[in-house]
Amino acid sequence: MRYASITSRLADLGSGKWALHIRARQLKASGADIIELTIGEPDLPPDRALLDECQRAMNAGRYRYSNGRGEAAVVSAIAEKYRRRRADVTAKNVLCFPGTQTALFAVMLGLAEAGDGVLVGDPLYATYEGVIRAAGAHPVFVPLKPDLGFHMQREHLERSVTPECRVLLLNTPHNPTGAVLTAAEITAIGEVARRHDLWIVCDEVYEELVFSGTFASPFDDPDLAERTIVVSSISKSHAAPGFRSGWAVGPAEFTRRLLPVSETMLFGQQPFIADMTAYALTHEIDTARRMRETYGRRARRIVDGLSHIPAVAVLPPEAGMFALIDVAGTGLSGEAFAWALLEEERVAVMPGSSFGTQAKDFLRISLTVADETIEEACRRIAALAERRTTTRKRRA
């Protein structure tokens, strides 16, 4: 039988990147005591008021068909959120989607196609390459250097641009590295985008989880307004990933042209979830503040817990739910170390190679487990690192 080419383009870009996570879940299901540090799923529950609002909306009959742009209340709430950042935003700039991933998929379909290049930093979130290739485009990787804190540099971006490039996919705060672009860095990146007439798609799902400093976005620069689209959701900011409630905000002409794409895909979000999202965006909810404090503290515990091990180095994150650990000093790649850590110490982490070549010597560790679990994981990581380093020295 014949299949569409998309099935071949995405054949190795799905769950294969999560093979270690899947194996860890299998071991856990069989009774193994696994410390799971693989995925960014908040360990705080959503605020009770959000659950009550969702239930109230369902009880009020808010479970019927919606429309392609989004329910009026949530569209208004999203517009108001971004109007605080840029005064010209209206409901015409907003499209609602079930989560950031769906928003990104639709946006990429609307901007890129076969033969086009999409610039994206390496490391990159594990689904980005699949989203790009699903549109028929191909990724053009911009190296994000560990010694520069994985911050995208203007000169690296400029050297990466090719004539077929149409889109720059940014992620700030960044997953997996926790890097947060500064306003000056965004200005420099924006100059390259203008010079080469690139769209900027900015995934800002970790916007409210910046540990220190000020969040900056190309969306807030009037000189970049005509070419910037933001995708985000309440998954991280409100600890509500399972509700799948996200959006895209961009130029009015862009949302008008993308609306039929959205309607063809799914034709509307669940109204009761839309009501909950509107409530989340229009009320003071302290979930993000609590997560910032908690994840920042846990990141410091990882730094402290591994500081005495010469063979590993922790890259302190500037934001988000993850920390990166460089294990090159052990003589193992991140992939080899991660699998050994699972099999020998029963700790599951993501190998950096799941996120690109620049992170191949790293592990990505989730900060979404209890402090004492983080500390125990550090002890086990240290034990493996010391064993492997000693073995390597003996063989040398």
CA atoms of 176 and 206, how far apart (whole Å)? 11
CA atoms of 172 and 27, how far apart (whole Å)? 34
Closest Cα partner for 249 from 116, 120, 88?
A: 88
Q: What pLDDT, on the 0 to 100 scale, is given for residue 392?
A: 64
Q: What pLDDT, on the 0 to 100 scale, is given for residue 21?
A: 95
Question: Which domains are assigned to the chain?
Answer: 5-44+287-395 (3.90.1150.10), 48-282 (3.40.640.10)
Residue 365 backbone phi and psi in degrees, to 5:
-115, 125
Could you tell me the two tokens for 150? 């994985």
Closest Cα partner for 104 from 205, 182, 193?
A: 205
Q: Angle at which helices 334-345 and 371-395 pack, to 10 degrees?
A: 110
Closest Cα partner for 254 from 93, 15, 76, 79?
A: 93
CA atoms of 119 and 3, how far apart (whole Å)? 28
Q: Which residues contact 191 (CB under 8 A, 6 or more apart)?
A: 154
CA angle at residue 316 from 310 to 317, to 5 degrees? 150
- If phi > 0 it is left, if psi is from -120 to 50 it is alpha, else beta; for residue 320 that is left
Q: What pLDDT, on the 0 to 100 scale, is given for residue 11?
A: 87
Q: Which residues contact 343 (CB under 8 A, 6 or more apart)?
A: none
Q: Spell out, as residue ranges, where the chain has pLDDT lower than 70.
A: 390-396
pLDDT digits (tens, 9 = 90+) for 176-234: 999 999 999 999 999 999 999 999 999 999 999 999 889 999 999 999 999 999 999 99
Please spell the DSSP secondary structure of 221-237, one letter per residue: -GGGGGGEEEEEESTTT
What DSSP character marks residue 267?
-
Could you tell me the two tokens for 27? 């071991």
Q: Taking the chain, what is the end-to-end CA distance rounded to the nearest angstrom?
A: 54
Q: What pLDDT, on the 0 to 100 scale, is given for residue 5?
A: 92
Q: What pLDDT, on the 0 to 100 scale, is given for residue 13?
A: 81
Q: What pLDDT, on the 0 to 100 scale, is given for residue 110?
A: 97
3-class SS of residue 69: coil
CA atoms of 285 and 42, how far apart (whole Å)? 15
Q: Which residue spans within the chain are E strands per DSSP? A: 35-36, 94-97, 117-122, 138-143, 165-171, 199-203, 228-233, 246-249, 313-315, 322-326, 347-348, 350-351, 362-366
Closest Cα partner for 314 from 377, 387, 369, 372?
A: 377
Q: What pLDDT, on the 0 to 100 scale, is given for residue 16?
A: 76
Closest Cα partner for 63 from 271, 278, 244, 267?
A: 271
Q: Which residues contact 356 (CB under 8 A, 6 or more apart)?
A: 122, 123, 124, 141
Q: Which residues contact 8 (CB under 8 A, 6 or more apart)?
A: none
Contact between residue 79 and residue 91 where contact means Cβ atoms under 8 Å apart: yes
Q: What pLDDT, on the 0 to 100 scale, is given for residue 389?
A: 85
